[in-house]
A and B are shown apart, each in its own frame.
Chain A
Amino acid sequence: MGCGVTKSNQFHKHPVKAIRAAVLIQQWYRQYVARMEMRRRYTWHIFQSIEYSGEQAQIKLYNFLGYLMDNFTPSSNERNLISHIFRENEVCRDAEWERHFCYKNIEVPEIYSGPHLCFPLTVEQAVNMVEAFRNKKQLHSRYVLQLLLETWKLLRMLPNISRISTCHSKEITICGDLHGQLEDLLLIFYKNGMPSLEKPYVFNGDFVDRGKDSIEILLILFAFLLVYPTEVHLNRGNHEDHIINLRYGFTKEVLTKYKMHGKRILKLLQKIFSWLPLATVIDQKVLVLHGGISDSTDLGVLARVDRHTYVSALRPPKKKKQQSSTGTSIDSDMDEDWANQRLFQRRASLTCPKLTVSRDGFLNRSLQDFSDRLKGNVVEGELKHCQQRATLVRLGSLRVEKESHASPDSVASDDAKEEWKQILDLLWSDPMSQDGCIPNELRGGGCYWGPDVTEDFLTRHNMQLIVRSHECKQDGYEFCHNRKVLTLFSASNYYDVGSNRGAYVKLGPDLVPYVVQYQASSMTRELTARQSVGQTERSALKVLREQLFSHKSDLICAFKTFDCDNTGVVSATDWATAVESVMRLGLPWRMLRSQLVSSKRSDGLIDYQQWFNELAIKGANADHIDQCLLETLYRHRSTVETIFRIVDTNNSGFISPSDFRQTWKLLSAYLKMEITDEAISELAVAIDSNRDGAIDIDEFMEAFRLTDKKSRLERGRSMFMATAPDLTALDQDDERV
């Protein structure tokens, strides 16, 4: 201790004062940490609520589109707009597939500076490719298709459940969600080494969406899979699903990077995703899968399913038996889809298990409309039971009731439903702290399972640990259920720069998990804890403000119920209650109030009209557009964009004026909004269309401020990947950093 002499003088002189000073600062510091932690917690909560409700919205959209498919006549325009995403793969035989995805005619120009691939792939080529991606090169579409074809051939031979062992003292490395964040994968390889004969890896799903390098991650993983097929194992995640990809950025990424062949690449990837194994078992004792389990999960069933028939986990495969002469296949599909929609209806919010709110936003109402048509017998109340199995049985009997003929298929279809449920649970479930097993309404798929279910499952299968991913964790990992379940998340800075670390796990023959954490991005290191919490918080609040603004009408209604005398003000308590009743995000609104409502009155009351003026978002050409319409568009901008992209069948980024009209009809049905032809014309005019009247989707979204480049959550873009100047631009709205 260098300055020892001086120090002892201090202590001699003022021992009491010295201690007092120390205690003061320590007290202050601990208070500061607690407050930061609080902020971090609710910021996290904001992001997570919005993320999950986005997932739920996508599932709802898909269910709606499915309903549309099954109920509109085949010649209807609306149906034709979207039928392509449901089209079963027309080409059946392998040889035909190979021809369809043939890469041989694709020439690689001399000017191409990216990596060249030559099959069979060698490890040098794989390593070389990683290096090329690190240097921002893009793999040529010829090689992409070739690589994907080889991958598909290999995956087809793999079983549903990979069984591997840690024999020969090999440590197995398990990675969680990567979500297109290449920097994290590179960091893992840097810290842990690349896959090799001595270094087996398991990648636990969600390789794509949100981040900007999803295709590169896939290519790297597939390349190593081809080079080391016995050492590299991939599990399917809920984002390895083309329906989810439509919303969360992967589809767009591929189409942007591969303008000519993107569509074929995506189609091939659809098949590849469906062929990804479902789970991995290590030493027969450790189960690795993406989402989780339910009280009905049965590895025996999972081992036997035809996994590739589940192109999207959100829709069960059409059963061949239903094409029988009696009854129409459309009716049966409609029944099961409608019934399954019921399964996924929102009920209790489970992010905060203690808050049970019954959600019935407009989407539920639209589903209600579907059901009215069908004169269904099943009422919501009947489905409120916890046991999904019981629900399924009821659905099975409902289905029998519906069909006009006695169907021998009903048993088979119960099995099929059971099978589908198993896969859905595997990909979408989350653990909860209470015992039991309940539907995961927040996400819209899978279930929440408790420690008793884990215990039962592990005992039944004679296993000791479940390693899963699917949920972002601040430290990159989290144990629960008595350390029998480990959540592993490998995408650091997922919600925002500095929001969380990533982690991977090493498992040796002793099967004791050894966790390694990391955090990508040099920008994180430069930020102090306070700055990164501050930045994430600002992002979250920005997103939240937008959500609030887009619910303006509903919120004003809610406020008015508390403000009977029409004074224009409400108390803080009433404000919080009203906001939660509309938003249903289970957030600590009282705590957030000071951040969300900037104008403060001396009497503590909140002027809600004034508040909306603060929140208002003005579009460039939006003045003449009906405010209500604008608000609805804004609220559902992800859905709007998704539908546009679905309609844009050749993925050009443009849709024709007539398709534009049709799309609005579709949207107006789905969003339950009245939209006149006149309003549609106004919308078209608002866009400066200069391409024979075709409407540029991006331009449309931009024109109505329906995109927010800084909001990472809804557009699948990574703010983290922004450069330093972008970040400082972000700081300009708040001088205090």
Chain B
Amino acid sequence: MAPKKDPKAPVKKAEPAAAPAPAAAAAPAPAPAAKTPAVDLSSVKIQFSADQLEDYKEAFGLFDRVGDNKVAYNQIADIMRALGQNPTNKDVTKLLGSPSAEEMANKRVTFEGFLPMLQTIVNSPNKAGFEDYVEGLRVFDKEGNGTVMGAELRIVLSTLGERLNEQEIDALMAGQEDENGCINYEAFVKHIMSV
């Protein structure tokens, strides 16, 4: 069935495509970095200010549920996001040297170990702005009228890229669709960026 085959084709391309995709707006410099299996964290120079370090340390502390001044591998991505970064899960997994699921849950890292990871992500130019988001959504604007079908967006978000589950999509789209099930995507992007 035609619709089922097509999603597979893009997914196969996702591996190399994901890396250049965030960097599409900027130079291809990050692309080689993403292709290397692990990042050499010891060579990363920390360039944060003293104030920033204090901020990050506080945030780091909030995630330490055990009290050993460390966080688990599987919390790293979330801490980075809480600090305003936008790594994909794949970015982070690569950074950690592609650990197993068990390692992700059990291995822990100190604040000092965390800093070069954060610096790497901060250094990689994957900052998407308002226009990038709008452009991205315009792909699905089949009538070119500034709206996308909520249903389509749901399917895309649950089948492409780093998939969201149904609950997450529901939360994301809560209250966004109008009575026809359409979303005005410029308004949508303004909304999501205002949080």
Enumerate chain B residues within 8 angstroms of A354, measured Cβ to Cβ: 61, 64, 67-69
User: How far does the Cβ of B125 sit from chain A's closest Cβ, in whole Å?
Assistant: 14
B105 CB within 8 Å of chain A = no
Enumerate chain B residues within 8 angstroms of A433, measured Cβ to Cβ: 65-67
Enumerate chain A residues within 8 angstroms of B163, measured Cβ to Cβ: 26
Contact A10 B139 (CB under 8 A): yes
Enumerate chain A residues within 8 angstroms of B9, measured Cβ to Cβ: 11, 15
Interface segment among B31-39, B40-48, B129-137: the answer is B129-137
Enumerate chain B residues within 8 angstroms of A14, measured Cβ to Cβ: 139
Enumerate chain A residues within 8 angstroms of B103, measured Cβ to Cβ: none
Contact A353 B67 (CB under 8 A): yes
Interface residues of A in 6-63 (CB under 8 A from B): 6-12, 14-38, 41-42, 45
Contact B161 A19 (CB under 8 A): yes
Contact A27 B86 (CB under 8 A): yes
Enumerate chain A residues within 8 angstroms of B166, measured Cβ to Cβ: none
Contact B164 A31 (CB under 8 A): no
Q: Which of A6, A7, A27, A590 contacts B88 (CB 8 A)?
A: A27
18 more A-B residue pairs beyond the given contacts A24-B21, A604-B51, with a C-beta to C-beta distance below 8 A: A2-B151, A3-B152, A15-B13, A17-B139, A18-B156, A19-B14, A19-B161, A20-B21, A22-B157, A24-B133, A25-B172, A30-B89, A33-B81, A34-B79, A352-B61, A528-B174, A572-B51, A588-B59
Q: Which of B6, B88, B133 contacts A11 (CB 8 A)?
A: B6
Enumerate chain A residues within 8 angstroms of B66, measured Cβ to Cβ: 433
A22, A34, A353 — which one has the most chain B CB atoms within 10 A of its CB?
A: A22
Number of A residues, CB within 8 Å of B? 58
A8 and B54 CA atoms in complex are apart in Å by 49
Enumerate chain A residues within 8 angstroms of B128, measured Cβ to Cβ: 24, 27-28
A650 CB within 8 Å of chain B = no
B contacts, CB < 8 Å to A:
1-3, 6-7, 9-10, 13-14, 17-18, 21-22, 24, 50-51, 54-55, 58-59, 61-62, 64-69, 77-82, 84-89, 128, 132-133, 135-137, 139-140, 142, 149, 151-152, 155-157, 160-164, 168, 171-172, 174-175, 192, 194-195
A23, A530, A591 — which one has the most chain B CB atoms within 10 A of its CB?
A: A23
Contact B22 A573 (CB under 8 A): no
Enumerate chain B residues within 8 angstroms of A21, measured Cβ to Cβ: 135-137, 139-140, 156
A328 CB within 8 Å of chain B = no
Contact B78 A34 (CB under 8 A): yes
Q: Which of B80, B161, B192 contacts A23 (CB 8 A)?
A: B161
A contacts, CB < 8 Å to B:
1-12, 14-38, 41-42, 45, 352-354, 432-434, 528-530, 572-573, 576, 588-591, 604, 736
Known: A8-B3, A8-B6, A591-B55. A19 touches B17 (CB 8 A): yes
A19 and B136 CA atoms in complex are apart in Å by 9
A18 and B174 CA atoms in complex are apart in Å by 22
With both beta carbons as reference points, the residue of chain A lying nearest to B159 in the complex is identified as A22
Enumerate chain A residues within 8 angstroms of B67, measured Cβ to Cβ: 352-354, 432-434
With both beta carbons as reference points, the residue of chain B lying nearest to A354 in the complex is identified as B67
A20, A433, A530 — which one has the most chain B CB atoms within 10 A of its CB?
A: A20
8 shortest interchain CB distances as A-B pairs: A21-B136, A34-B81, A4-B3, A353-B67, A22-B161, A22-B160, A23-B161, A31-B81
Contact B22 A23 (CB under 8 A): yes
Known: A4-B2, A15-B9. A588 touches B155 (CB 8 A): no
With both beta carbons as reference points, the residue of chain A lying nearest to B21 in the complex is identified as A20
Contact B175 A24 (CB under 8 A): no
A158 and B141 CA atoms in complex are apart in Å by 70
With both beta carbons as reference points, the residue of chain B lying nearest to A18 in the complex is identified as B139
